[in-house]
Structure 1
Amino acid sequence: MADPVRQVHEWLESYDAPGACVAHLLCDRHPSDAIAITEVHPDLSARDLTYGELAARSAAVAGGLADLGVGPGDRVATLLDSGIDLAVTALAVWRLGGVHVPLFTAFAPSAIALRLRDSGARTVVCGADQRSKLDPGDDLPAGSVSAVVTTGGTPRPGERTLADLELLPPAPAVAMGGGAPFMRIYASGTAGPPRAVEVPVRALAALHAYHHYGLDVRDDDVFWNAADPGWFYGLYHGLVSPLLAGHRSLHLRAGFDPELTLDVLASFGVTNFAATPTVYRALRSVLKTLPPEIVVRRLASSGEPLHADVVEWAGDVFGVPVHDHYGQSELGMCAGNHGNDEVAVPLKPGSMGTALPGWTVTVLEPVADVEAAPGVFGRVAIDVPASPAMWFTGYEGNPLATARRFSPDGRWYLTGDTGTRDAVGRLYFSARDDDVILSGGYRITPFDVESALLQHPDVEETAAYGVPDEVVGEVVAADVVLRDGVHGSDELADTLRELVRARVASHAGPGRINFVAQLPRTASGKIQRFRLREPRLRT
């Protein structure tokens, strides 16, 4: 293996080439008899899919999608859980030169409709249990989706299943080139709806760098990233980067349960495990003695700040600490406590680690675009010219949001996070500038929660925010001002909570709802979100 900096440049030369083909890079170039995915079910039964089988099935599905009119540049959305069907469908889209738009299966119809409208995706592949979310309604008018493909069950008239698509002649793989987008995901924010991030093929260099240097996944590892593929960490590094490296990865088709997680770790001999801090906190609550069958070599975490006590607990129980990593939808992973010995620095609990090869991550002063001195609080930023792995250039169709992410001269990408760095370059997270709520590894935008609450006729105005929680990091809270003559009650709070769960997602329902007389505002009328967490008189 070349030295880390040269290796990143070699990956860039390959993945940013005019002839770069995602299907070839993620599948066709690997040994056909090597296992690509092991799909695990709640009863611990499993089935393997080899790279040869993935190539054949995805080529067949690509032929079926082409028959539906999908071609280069077209957006195809998936409403699928982790597993073989998702991998086959995504590879099929990429064979055609299309753009994959992943949708989180916990999303309510309104959140799905927003992303379908914005992306222009007219073809959706979904699980049979998700099909009803695509029914015409106020959020998704009839005709918004031209083709629906389900993974099983009895299709509705005029619709098809994945098995139906596989009956058509296979389609050849299309070379997309390094600048073409192959995924479109959505980053949460507080000012307006989620922002579209189009991921170009050349971003594979950044994903490969994290897989190799950050996670330290080796050829003989049993790798499992437990994050949901509807979010960037599970998508980038549970699906894409293992396929890119030609490694086998586990895909569990079940919701999170700490006991089941331990069973999977033991039964399948997982040696390299990645998950959110919430997963580790939940494991700590049930795990007293480590079963002898569990022998992990690497533990990784991302999605929210990882506290030192969890790092130390893992070291005591598993024999290896949890390595915290840092990234965003717009970047992939750019810093961390790297697992690979070539780039590792001594682990310091509480630190997010150092920049990955290909990245320069630093801290700027609070109000000036110059680097802050070690130990001085400021804004976490990427030095764009000094970061060859940097691929994000802006939000699709949103120049105002893009402008807020970059310094006026374009040198600095501003992450929206604050913190410090020490003399050796270790980063320490302090807070988020944009107030996104990090709960259980999920990024929840207050905008979505507030928009849902305002659908209730008794709600005059509202503001959502996160409050610290020992298990999930933060829980969603909402301060609600009711219309004149309406009084708050436990029953109304429950109704509002269920409204958010139905309109946004189950994990977005506010754990706390406070009925207040007014919201704190500046003289210009803007909500002072920093004051929402302060104790004050509730009505």
Structure 2
Amino acid sequence: MTDGRQAAERQVREWLDEYSAPTAGAAHLLCDRHDPSTVAFTLVEPDLTSTPFTHGELADESRRMATVLVANGVARGDKVPVLLGKRRELIVALVALWRIGAVHVPLFTAFATGAIVLRVEGASASVVITDASQRSKVDPIDAVTVLDVDELAAAAVDAEPFTDDAAIGGDGTLVQLYTSGTTGKPKGVPVPLRALAAFQTYQHYSLDVADDDVFWNAADPGWAYGLYYAILGPLVGGRTSLLFNAGFTPESTVAVLTAFGVTNFAGAPTMYRALRAGADTSGVALRRASSAGEPLTPDIVEFGLAHLGTEVRDQYGQTELGMVIGNHWHADVALPLRSGSMGQPMPGYAAGIVDGQIALDVENSPLLWFTGYDAAPEKTAERFTKDGAWYLTADTGKVDDDGYFSFTARDDDVILAAGYRIGPFDVESVMVKHPSIIEVAVVGRPDPEGIRGEVVEAFVVLREGFTGSDELEAELQALVRDGYSKHAYPRRVHFVESLPKTPSGKVQRFILRRGDA
């Protein structure tokens, strides 16, 4: 272990000890201990006007908001879904809830009522916080009180500051997220206060967010990566985070990157692919670029070097874990990139391969905070080996002799063809190099001849100017057959306008497998 890695492991232990204390409180760790004059968030509107939001303003507004929430029946331990865009009142409402000791249940603004109901009912929530733009989605839900955040904020102006901040301790629940549900009904993931140590470790060592960085994590805080690392990580670490109150488009992303001189950017592979597809990035000059959510194909690394000012580094995690493996940026733990690899374990974690799955060594991963799903013991048991020694990710992968991990597939995405186990990511990484392709997803579907078990099929989104044809299909098949493996080439190539995705941008391969796309 290098001196830098040893120093990182010591720092991790210090953060963990502090945030695990039985007297620890969320509002203190996330807001009150910071210099009140420092900027917590740069709030950016769709027209690119911006407002600095200081820790002192956040402390004052959240204390008054907490008083109003208590008056509306919110109490310590209550699970409170919040359906708001990336606006000032979102941050105020969250810190107010945490002052009370209530539990935040994130809701994504692109959800329809059905997805919201699953989470509201799963959390047994009686109160939902939203605004006028989202209220129509919540009003049909029976037996919940809907609180309008703008009405709460207006009442908070004259309210007395809340002074009885809850000390929930390191094991107290801060957030309850729900998994994206790509393979089943969403499961509740309680996030304890001590998880802040893991979030700060990622922010510091993997993303390398420095004091003078202009940092923007473009992920939506309705999902884990955005909540953990656009809000919680920056707050606990005292780093300024840019919050853009609009959805993703390549054009608006470039506009924000250039207008605010962003130097440290994090986002999903989908975002980088969209930028690569034709956005003018000539004014972008990043110091750090990081990707999470799905495996990063090598062409995006090359795109970053050519058009963003830096390579894009792939990092790996889950809702249940936060980020745990990565191509880290900080000098103490940074290593050279290896094509197709997602890197090495983050300080505070030890990982291996168990039964083909990427797994975490529980005893030697002090930052591991997941202990189980809410009210789902059978699902929880699936995440651990019988002896409890390893957390199982359900993602298949491999590790080389130097400790670099690589992803092959979610366990249920592995293709079994003629006795071969084929990881879709490996095939996608070859196909996406073709100049006609923006995106590609590879799945296994039943062999119509009944010989191979499954056959590889590819779903391809083409760039403007290219048209799907038998000739292009043959060219793509040959690219895989000759450049990767004869047994892994796609027997059929489907040319589609878009790929089915979760609201967080993950490809829903199960939809492609069953032929609904």
TM-score of the two chains, using structure 2 as the length reference: 0.80
1:329 matched to 2:319? The reply is yes
1:163 matched to 2:187? The reply is no
Question: 1:189–1:434: 8 Å Cα contact kept in structure 2?
Answer: no
Question: 2:327–2:337: 8 Å Cα contact kept in structure 1?
Answer: yes
Q: Please say which of residues 304-313 and 169-178 is displaced more in the overlay.
A: 169-178
Q: CA deviation at 1:287?
A: 3.5
CA pair 66-317 structure 1, distance change in 2 beyond 3 A: same
1:149 matched to 2:147? The reply is yes
1:354-369 matches, within 5 Å, as 354-364=344-354, 366=355
What is the aligned partner in structure 2 of residue 478 from structure 1?
none
Q: What does the per-residue CA deviation read over 1:34-63, in whole Å, with 9 as the maximum and x for residues that have no partner?
A: 011111111110111100000000011001
Cα separation, 2, equivalents of 1:383 and 1:511: 29
What is the aligned partner in structure 2 of residue 237 from structure 1?
229
1:319 matched to 2:309? The reply is yes
Q: Secondary structure of the residue that 2:194 maps to in structure 1? A: helix
CA pair 507-333 structure 1, distance change in 2 beyond 3 A: closer
Question: 2:183–2:510: 8 Å Cα contact kept in structure 1?
Answer: no
Q: 1:433 aligns with which of 395, 408, 411?
A: 411
Which amino acid is the alignment partner of residue 266 of structure 1? Answer: T
CA pair 131-190 structure 1, distance change in 2 beyond 3 A: closer
Question: 1:419–1:431: 8 Å Cα contact kept in structure 2?
Answer: yes
Question: 1:108–1:505: 8 Å Cα contact kept in structure 2?
Answer: no
1:126 matched to 2:130? The reply is yes
Q: 1:339 aligns with which of 311, 319, 329?
A: 329
Question: 2:214–2:263: 8 Å Cα contact kept in structure 1?
Answer: yes
1:474-493 matches, within 5 Å, as none
Which amino acid is the alignment partner of residue 123 of structure 2? Answer: S
CA pair 167-340 structure 1, distance change in 2 beyond 3 A: same
Flag as ranges the 4+ runs of structure 1 deviating above 6 A.
Answer: 504-514
Q: CA deviation at 1:84?
A: 1.6
Q: CA deviation at 1:435?
A: 4.9
Q: What does the per-residue CA deviation read over 1:104-130, in whole Å, with 9 as the maximum and x for residues that have no partner?
A: 111110110111111022221112110
CA pair 196-510 structure 1, distance change in 2 beyond 3 A: closer
What is the aligned partner in structure 2 of residue 372 from structure 1?
none
What is the aligned partner in structure 2 of residue 177 from structure 1?
169
Q: CA deviation at 1:162?
A: 2.5
Q: CA deviation at 1:81?
A: 1.4
Question: 1:259–1:286: 8 Å Cα contact kept in structure 2?
Answer: no
Question: 2:324–2:346: 8 Å Cα contact kept in structure 1?
Answer: yes
Q: CA deviation at 1:151?
A: 3.3
Q: CA deviation at 1:189?
A: 4.2
1:116 matched to 2:106? The reply is no
Question: 2:61–2:156: 8 Å Cα contact kept in structure 1?
Answer: no
CA pair 356-510 structure 1, distance change in 2 beyond 3 A: closer
1:147-226 matches, within 5 Å, as 148-152=146-150, 160-172=151-163, 173-189=165-181, 192-226=184-218
CA pair 510-279 structure 1, distance change in 2 beyond 3 A: closer
1:227 matched to 2:219? The reply is yes
Cα separation, 2, equivalents of 1:513 and 1:333: 26
Cα separation, 1, equivalents of 2:345 and 2:400: 12
Cα separation, 2, equivalents of 1:380 and 1:225: 26
1:398 matched to 2:390? The reply is no
Question: 2:270–2:505: 8 Å Cα contact kept in structure 1?
Answer: no
CA pair 312-195 structure 1, distance change in 2 beyond 3 A: same
Which amino acid is the alignment partner of residue 43 of structure 1? Answer: D
1:409 matched to 2:401? The reply is no
Cα separation, 1, equivalents of 2:459 and 2:244: 29
Question: 1:76–1:121: 8 Å Cα contact kept in structure 2?
Answer: yes
Which amino acid is the alignment partner of residue 226 of structure 1? Answer: A
Which amino acid is the alignment partner of residue 381 of structure 2? Answer: A
Cα separation, 2, equivalents of 1:413 and 1:344: 25
CA pair 505-334 structure 1, distance change in 2 beyond 3 A: closer
Q: CA deviation at 1:244?
A: 0.6
Work out the percentage of aligned pairs sharing the same amino acid: 48
Which amino acid is the alignment partner of residue 200 of structure 1? Answer: P
Question: 1:405–1:415: 8 Å Cα contact kept in structure 2?
Answer: yes
Cα separation, 1, equivalents of 2:510 and 2:352: 36
Q: Secondary structure of the residue that 2:295 maps to in structure 1? A: coil
CA pair 316-109 structure 1, distance change in 2 beyond 3 A: same
1:279 matched to 2:254? The reply is no
Q: 1:258 aligns with which of 250, 261, 286?
A: 250
CA pair 341-214 structure 1, distance change in 2 beyond 3 A: same
Q: CA deviation at 1:214?
A: 0.4
CA pair 325-167 structure 1, distance change in 2 beyond 3 A: same
Q: What does the per-residue CA deviation read over 1:378-419, in whole Å, with 9 as the maximum and x for residues that have no partner?
A: 211011101000010110100110011100000010001001
Cα separation, 2, equivalents of 1:86 and 1:337: 31
Question: 2:223–2:504: 8 Å Cα contact kept in structure 1?
Answer: no
Cα separation, 1, equivalents of 2:504 and 2:312: 28
Cα separation, 1, equivalents of 2:313 and 2:505: 26
Cα separation, 2, equivalents of 1:61 and 1:352: 41
Which amino acid is the alignment partner of residue 162 of structure 1? Answer: A
CA pair 17-511 structure 1, distance change in 2 beyond 3 A: closer
Cα separation, 2, equivalents of 1:423 and 1:280: 30
1:74 matched to 2:78? The reply is yes
Question: 2:85–2:245: 8 Å Cα contact kept in structure 1?
Answer: yes
Q: CA deviation at 1:348?
A: 1.4
Q: CA deviation at 1:192?
A: 4.1
CA pair 383-269 structure 1, distance change in 2 beyond 3 A: same
Q: CA deviation at 1:434?
A: 4.0
Cα separation, 1, equivalents of 2:287 and 2:44: 21
Which amino acid is the alignment partner of residue 148 of structure 2? Answer: T
Question: 1:362–1:380: 8 Å Cα contact kept in structure 2?
Answer: yes
Q: Secondary structure of the residue that 2:133 maps to in structure 1? A: helix
1:308 matched to 2:298? The reply is yes
Question: 2:178–2:187: 8 Å Cα contact kept in structure 1?
Answer: yes
Q: Secondary structure of the residue that 1:128 maps to in structure 2? A: coil
Q: Secondary structure of the residue that 1:362 maps to in structure 2? A: strand
Question: 2:254–2:280: 8 Å Cα contact kept in structure 1?
Answer: no
1:89-104 matches, within 5 Å, as 89-104=93-108
- Structure 1: stretches of 5+ with no match in the other structure: 153-159, 367-377, 439-465, 473-496, 515-528
CA pair 336-199 structure 1, distance change in 2 beyond 3 A: same
What is the aligned partner in structure 2 of residue 518 from structure 1?
none
1:6 matched to 2:4? The reply is no
Question: 1:363–1:379: 8 Å Cα contact kept in structure 2?
Answer: yes
> Could you say what the CA RMSD is over the residues aligned between the two structures, in angstroms?
2.9
CA pair 67-202 structure 1, distance change in 2 beyond 3 A: same
- Structure 2: stretches of 5+ with no match in the other structure: 415-423, 426-456, 464-497
What is the aligned partner in structure 1 of residue 441 from structure 2?
none
Q: What does the per-residue CA deviation read over 1:109-165, in whole Å, with 9 as the maximum and x for residues that have no partner?
A: 0110111111022221112110011122xxx32xx212x22233xxxxxxx432224
